[in-house]
Homo-oligomer: A and B are copies of this chain.
Amino acid sequence: MLNFRNDYSEGAHPNILEAMRVNNLTPVVGYGKDEHCAHAAEMIRERFNCPAADVHFLVGGTQTNLIMIAAALRSFEAVICAETGHINVHETGAVEATGHKVISVRKPDGKLTPMDIITVLRGHPDEHMVKPRMVYISQSTELGTIYTRRELELLRKVCDEQGLILYLDGARLASGMTAEDCDLMPADLPRLCDAFYIGGTKNGALFGEALVIVNPALKPDFRYMIKNQGGMLAKGWLLGMQFEGLFTGDLYFTLGRYANAMAMRLRDGLWAKGYELAYSATTNQIFAILSKDQIFELTKEVAFEFHSSWDKTHDVVRFVTSWATRAEDVDALLALL
Contact = CB atoms under 8 A, between A and B. Distances in A.
Interface of A: 1, 3, 5-6, 8-12, 14, 17, 20-21, 23-31, 59-63, 66-67, 70-71, 74-76, 78, 89-94, 96-102, 127-131, 201-202, 206-207, 221, 223-235, 238, 303, 324
B6 A229 contact: no
Contact of A93 (B5, B63, B101, B232): B101
18 contacts: A9-B30, A11-B24, A17-B21, A27-B303, A60-B232, A60-B233, A61-B234, A62-B230, A71-B74, A76-B92, A91-B228, A92-B129, A92-B227, A94-B230, A127-B221, A130-B224, A202-B234, A206-B235
Given A62-B232, A92-B127, A94-B228, A10 B24 contact: yes
A239 B90 CA distance: 22
Given A224-B127, A227-B76, A228-B93, A23 B11 contact: yes
In this complex, the member of A90, A232, A303 whose beta carbon has the largest number of chain B beta carbons within 10 angstroms is A232
A23 B324 CA distance: 13
Contacts of A12: 24
Nearest to A22: B11
A238 B129 contact: no
Contacts of A201: 234-235
Of all A-B residue pairs in the complex, the 4 with the closest CB atoms, nearest first, are A63-B230, A11-B24, A76-B228, A92-B227
A308 to B, nearest CB: 10
A14 to B, nearest CB: 7
Contact of A75 (B3, B70, B91, B207): B70
A225 B128 CA distance: 10
Given A10-B25, A91-B230, 17 more contacts: A9-B29, A10-B24, A20-B206, A31-B128, A63-B230, A66-B230, A75-B93, A92-B130, A93-B100, A96-B100, A99-B99, A101-B102, A127-B223, A127-B224, A202-B234, A207-B233, A230-B230
Contact of A229 (B30, B71, B75, B223): B75
A228 B98 CA distance: 10
Nearest to A25: B10
Contact of A96 (B24, B67, B101, B206): B101
A31 to B, nearest CB: 8
A229 B230 contact: yes
Contacts of A31: 128
